[in-house]
Amino acid sequence: MKEQLAQIRAAAEQAIVKADSVPELDTLRVRFFGKKGELTSVLKQMGGLSAEMRPVIGQLANETREYIESQIEIARARLEEIALTSRLAAEKIDVTIPGTPQPLGHKHPMSIVLDEALSIFVGMGYKVVEGPEVEYDYYNFEALNIPRDHPARDTQDTFYITDNVLLRTQTSSVQIRHMEKNKPPIKIVSPGRVFRSDEIDATHSPLFHQIEGLVVDKGVTMGDLKGTLEVFAKRLYGEQARARFRPHHFQFTEPSAEMDIMCFNCQGKGCRLCKNEGWIEVLGAGLVHPKVLEICGIDPDVYSGFAFGIGLERITMRRYGIKDIRLFYENDLRFLKQFQGVM
Amino acid sequence: MVLSYKWLSEFVNIDVSPEEFADSMTMSGSKVEAVHELGGEIQNVVVGKIESVAKHPNADKLSVCMIDVGNNTVQVVTGATNVKAGDSVPVALDGSTLPGGVKINAGKLRGIDSFGMLCSINELGLTKNNLPDADEDGILILDGEAKPGTDIRTILGLDDIAFEFEITSNRPDCMSVIGLAREAAATFGKEFKAHTPEVRESDEPAENHLSVSVEDPDLCPRYTARMVCDVKIEPSPKWMRERLHASGIRPINNIVDITNYVMLEYGQPMHAFDYRLLGAGRIVVRRAKDGEKITTIDEREHTLNKDMLVIADESLPVAVAGVMGGSNSEIGEDTNTVVFESACFKAASVRNTSRALGLRTDSSARFEKGLDAENALPALERACELVESLGAGRVLKGVIDVKSYTYSERVIPFDPKRINALLGTDIDSEKMKEILKPLGFSFGDGIIGIPSFRADIECTADIAEEVARLYGYNNIESTPLRGENTQGGYDKNRLFEKSIGATSRALGFSECFTYSFINPAFYDRLMLPEGSNLRKYISIRNPLGDETSAMRTTLIPSMLEVISKNISSRNMTARFYELGRVYLPKLSPDGEADLNRLPDENAMYILGSYGKGNDFYTLKGALETLFKTLLIADVEFEPASHLPYHPGRCAKISSGDLTLGVIGEIHPKVLSCFDIDIPVYLADLSVEALMNAVQPELEYKPLPKFPAITRDIALVCDINLPVSRLEKCIRSCSTGILEDIVLFDVYTGGQVEKDKKSVAFSLTLRSPDHTLRDDEADAFINKALLALKDSYGALLRE
């Protein structure tokens, strides 16, 4: 029987090596271990052995079985690996074929820049508030120290509904509305639409957007205004952005300033982009005029504050190199598709 | 305001480059918009002395000149007939440039070498106004003293620089050479050289010939006048013409030029009347009579009204005060007696008159900002001093000065501590005084005196600005904001709109920004019924045009316009959204728009789609996804039928009691009004309603422990029955085991009767506390089928 087992073992080895598919291995398993399998038949003869021989042969038979089984498993693993490799080879695709398009909408460039600007101020502790676009003369002019007959309120510039109702020309109206209802400390930004009766051309639109800012507290200074807006400029335009402040005049701030950013194109040397000035004006600002504080019931001897107004179209045009403001309101998909904002 | 660098140098010595001057002035508050080198376009043009003129051998109309141009002699061929040997002329040398980008190079003219060109005044960019003696058609003959080789720009006064300033409305005093010189002196720490005009005057008193009465002192606080006899009208001298030219003013004649010169120098508009044309030697300053007429010197006739101030003689207006003179009293060639006016008119009145008449002049531009009445007299004196120095006439004795106020210097407390507190600086009070004195401020005990020309200075904040701008805004240390920490954040609306926007984009919709005002004709194009509230809109009283005159009450027309434009740009498929406001007027008791109250400004959200891959159901699907992300549940779409939508493809969207909006395909007639010929799908929703429909905070539900049973049922029902009714009916039968219901097929056609359709639902049934048994599921299905049959005649499909 020893010989028989040795033969079976040799036959199995040979057959396993020859097998070249997993089903063939299964057939071999039956051939050796099935009910009528070769090894099974040998085991069936065990009953005729002597008591001494039985354990010897028994052990030998078990060893033979384990050996064959392990060989089958090794062969199976090898064959499966081969099969997988060839399947994968057959499944190869051209990964350079474009992906299946999924719908994707685009964020308007002004929204992208607006959201960025707001998040900068929110991060500095500002609240975002809004106000009406159709506004009383009082909030748009009177309370901002722009009395009747002041040149700044030419009918040329303002859209009127009635003598007392108009389309706001500046988001500064929100300053008044907010101060009327809130006590210092005040720290707000207020984005929104404003209207001026400018004929439409590449740099003028009868409707545009501003971001108003207002801070009122004890001891607020011009230095604070500068510090705040410099941080804003760096966050919006990058650490290399350089800002300068120029005296200017607004009826509702005193002192008043305009902030310029050094032209990115020429680094201040002067080029076509900055009209040879080397600097590009981005916003108007100043300390809140004491008369304005007083009108809103805030004591200008105790409190001071600063305010600023940023032109959204202007900073967006700067940001993307857009030369014509009309593109913002035409909403041509070929234009919109060029922009993407995540949030 | 255009400032001549040479003129400025009469009042202050500035020794920096024009660029540095412009930069420093800008940074101290007088913004320079542009710097023009006056003769900048003229290069390499010099004085030449003609040595000889010979006939051109090959051309009758040309001559050949030998010209001394300083360091050598050049040959120039010219067609000019007014030159002879010994004349000095401008010579554009080889490689020179002239105004308008003209380049002059050496060349041959009919075979003879020519190394340049002789120039006329036109070729140098000038006119007879600049050089009255020049021959308009011929070569400019210079006076003989000019040295050959000298740059022509120095000879013609074109070696000047013109600075264009943007003067803010609070600083009318800076619309003058003196005002800017004072600023320059303060900016550069130089001395301001003031000039006090002196008039010698003759013995004959002016008051014998002229009387002035101011009938409306509220509009004219001061009126000063002087008379000049024996006037000889002629061109003003070269230096004056050059100054005016550099400042952008056309020289006319000595008297007119003097008024302009003084206006530029002092910032005080002046007027000169021909005395002969003033009836009875009387000047009356009064309000015009309604309907009174005047023809101004630009030959336009204006009808005046009683709100306008005029200068009149005993009967007729001779000038619109502060705006423009009348042609009936204009200075002419034969004028021999002149009345100079230097007055102060009320800003608002000049501004309103100028606007009403459509007349904006250098004079009105100054008056409407509010001028210093104290400046009127010095300006008048300066004009008469110039008359005398030019020999233009004999100034009569005495000034007529009618004023209705008494001047006293205004003072406010000088509070260096507060100034430093506002600026965040630590500037010494003596340093502040040093900064302020050159600007005209004076100091007393704890007070600061404000010069008459600084009406804009009213309080300590104004003084702080003066200190800051000369100290240098950029020298103020920037500080991060101190003080109490505040909690920043977005308002609820903006956060909500941000999530709507983000989801819209994820679903393929691109964001639009459109105008808030629309063409009122759009309300008709939407075919809105008469009396629809959407037709009650706010109209702008002074719109740019009709097409932007109505505040929108709906975003629909704006979206249709966007779509129409995109289709015409051949963007053949697109999805858009806009988050914008509509303006719904408050209604008066008679139901009309009440324009005197502020409207409701409601935030709206609109979606629009067209082209391949878009139909009603894709848009509806997008909305359903949106509702999921916004946590809006139980949304119902009920068939609706109203314009501007397709009557059979429109649904009202609601959640509970809240109407969220409308979705539908746009009516083809409406589309054609917007030049659109393919189907367009819109959904128009109220942001506020959406916000109110948001479910309260979510609560976690445990995952199911027991298996579900799925049952599909196909029903046959009337073809017009909305499937949502069937679904609702099934849901109403639930005993708590109906977990989900999904419509998976709607079929009409051969397999079902005409006028019927087959609708198939897949139901998921589950019990929370045990494994659902088939008999329980059957019981529910049977109950549902019974209800469907009873309510809608819907039967289980065989």
Residue of A nearest to B364 (CA): A151
Same-domain pairing of A153 and A78: no
User: Residue A331: pLDDT above 90?
Assistant: yes
| pLDDT-above-70 percentage for chain B | 99
If pLDDT is split at 50, 70 and 90, which confidence band does B635 have?
A: very high
Tell me if A100 is assigned to some domain: no
**Domain match, A316 and A256 both:** yes
Inter-chain residue contact A167 with B540, CB threshold 8 Å = yes
User: Pick from A90, A122, A138: which residue ends a domain?
Assistant: A90
Tell me which residue range forms the domain holding A64.
2-90
pLDDT digits (tens, 9 = 90+) for B421-463: 999 999 999 999 999 999 999 999 999 999 999 999 999 999 9
For β-strands B510-511 and B574-584, DSSP reports them as: parallel
End-to-end CA distance of chain B: 92
With a cut of 60, say whether residue A343 has pLDDT above it: no
Q: A197 vs B542: CB contact, 8 Å cut-off?
A: yes
Q: Which residues of A touch B598 (CB under 8 A)?
A: 132, 134-136, 165
CB of A231 within 8 Å of any CB in chain B? yes
Domain membership flag for residue A98: no
Q: Please tell me the predicted confidence (pLDDT) of residue B60.
A: 86
Question: Do A260 and A139 share a structural domain?
Answer: yes
Contacting A residues, span 4-23, partner chain B, CB-CB under 8 Å: none
* Pair (A267, A181) in one structural domain: yes
Considering only residues 49 to 78 of chain A, which have any Cβ-Cβ distance to chain B shorter than 8 Å? none
Residues A333 and A194 reside in one and the same domain: yes
Is 70 exceeded by the pLDDT of residue B481? no
Residue A99, in any domain of the structure: no
Residue B443 to residue B473: CA distance in whole angstroms:
24
- In tens, the pLDDT along B535-553 reads 999 999 999 999 999 999 9
Mean pLDDT of B312-328: 93
- 311-350 in chain B: CB under 8 A from chain A: 347-348
Please tell me the predicted confidence (pLDDT) of residue B164. 96
Q: Are A328 and A313 in contact (CB under 8 A)?
A: yes
Q: Which of residues 716-735 of B touch A (CB under 8 A)?
A: none
- Give CA–CA dist A240/A232, Å, rounded: 12
Q: Name the residue with higher pLDDT: B634 or A192.
A: A192
Q: Does the pLDDT at position A152 exceed 80?
A: no
State yes or no: pLDDT of B519 exceeds 70: yes
Q: Are residues A185 and A315 in the same domain?
A: yes
Q: Taking residues A25-53, what's their average pLDDT?
A: 84
Q: How many CB atoms lie within 10 A of CB B322?
A: 28
Same structural domain for residues A159 and A221? yes
A156, pLDDT greater than 60 = no
Closest-CA residue of chain A to B369: A151
Q: What would the two tokens of residue B256 be?
A: 């007119």
Domain-embedded: residue A103: no
In the block, residue with structure tokens 């800008």: B26
CB contact under 8 A, A221 and B26: no
Would you say residue A274 lies in a domain?
Answer: yes
Q: Is B473 on the interface with A (CB under 8 A)?
A: yes
Q: Chain A contacts of B507, Cβ < 8 Å?
A: 103, 105
- Is the model's pLDDT at A30 over the cut of 80? yes
Averaged pLDDT for residues B655-671 = 95
Q: Cβ of B218: how many Cβ atoms within 10 Å? A: 11
Residues A38 and A119 in one domain: no
CB spacing of A223 vs B479 below 8 angstroms = yes
pLDDT confidence band for A210 (50 / 70 / 90): very high
pLDDT in tens, B276-307: 888 878 999 999 999 999 999 999 999 999 99
B415 touches chain A (CB under 8 A): no
Which B residues 758-797 touch A at CB under 8 Å? none
- Band the pLDDT of A325: cuts 50, 70, 90: very high
* d(CA B322, nearest CA chain A) in Å: 16
Between CA A199 and CA A194 the distance in angstroms is: 15
The tokens describing B368, both together, are 């409407």
Tens of pLDDT, residue by residue over A239-270, are 988 999 999 999 999 999 999 998 877 888 88
pLDDT at B204: 93
- The DSSP element (H or E) to which B177 belongs, if any, is helix B177-188
Q: What is the pLDDT of residue A342?
A: 58
What is the per-residue pLDDT for A310? 95
CATH of the domain at A196: 3.30.930.10
Per-residue confidence (pLDDT) for residue A341, from 0 to 100: 66
Q: How confident is the model over B45-63, as pLDDT tens digits?
A: 999 999 999 988 888 889 9
Contact A333 B569 (CB under 8 A): yes
pLDDT-derived band at A112 (thresholds 50, 70, 90) equals very high
Residue in B494, B509, B541 to test binding to A, most A beta-carbons within 10 Å: B541
B393 touches chain A (CB under 8 A): no
Contact A133 B516 (CB under 8 A): yes
pTM score above 0.90: no
Among A57, A90, A123, the domain boundary falls at: A90
Residue A35: what pLDDT?
A: 86
Please give the tally of structural domains in chain A.
2
C-alpha dihedral (A6, A8, A11, A13), degrees to nearest 10: -80
| pLDDT tens by residue, B331-370 | 999 999 999 999 999 999 999 999 899 999 999 999 999 9
Q: Cα–Cα–Cα angle for A301, A307, A310, nearest 5°?
A: 175
Number of A to B CB contacts under 8 A, please give it: 256
For residue B441, the SS3 value is coil
Same domain, A77 and A130: no
pLDDT at residue A61 tops 80:
yes
Does the distance separating the beta carbons of B565 and A331 come in below 8 Å?
Answer: yes
Q: Determine whether the interchain pair B511/A336 forms a contact, defined as Cβ–Cβ distance below 8 Å.
A: yes
User: Mean pLDDT for chain B?
Assistant: 93
Q: How far apart, in whole angstroms, are the C-alpha atoms of residue B510 and residue B396?
A: 77
- Is residue A101 situated within a structural domain? no
Q: Which tens digit of pLDDT belongs to each residue from B247-284?
A: 999 999 999 999 999 999 999 999 999 998 888 789 99
Contacts of B502 in chain A (CB under 8 A): 343
Dist. CA B650–CA B679, nearest whole Å = 13
- Give which of A219, A224, A143 is closest to A177, Cα–Cα: A143
Res B699: pLDDT: 84
Nearest by CB to A185, from B465, B483, B599: name it.
Answer: B483
What local confidence, expressed as pLDDT, does residue B486 receive?
75
Question: Phi and psi dihedrals of B339, rounded to 5?
Answer: -110, 120
Least confident of A132-146, B233-247, B283-297, B485-499: B485-499
What is the residue-averaged pLDDT of chain A? 90
Q: Are residues A167 and A227 in the same domain?
A: yes
The model's confidence at residue A154, banded by pLDDT at 50, 70 and 90, is low
Q: Is A95 within the bounds of a domain? A: no
Specify the pLDDT at position B133: 81
Check if the beta carbon of residue B80 is closer than 8 Å to that of residue B138: yes
User: Does residue A67 belong to any structural domain of this protein?
Assistant: yes
Do β-strands B282-287 and B211-214 pair in parallel, antiparallel, or remain unpaired? parallel
CB contact under 8 A, B508 and A108: no
Question: What residue has token string 């408050």?
Answer: B586
Q: Which of A30, A62, A90 is the last residue of a domain?
A: A90
pLDDT the model gives residue B73: 92
Instruction: Say if residue A140 is in the same domain as residue A284.
Output: yes
Give the pLDDT band of residue A189 (cuts 50, 70, 90).
very high
Specify whether A253 is located in the same domain as A203: yes
- B365 reaches A (C-beta below 8 A): no
Please report which confidence band the pLDDT of residue B128 belongs to, taking 50, 70 and 90 as the band edges.
confident
Please answer whether residues B115 and B94 qualify as being in contact, where contact means their C-beta atoms are separated by less than 8 angstroms: yes
Sequence-ordered list of residues with C-beta below 8 angstroms from that of A24, at least 6 positions apart, any chain? none
CB contact under 8 A, B565 and A332: yes
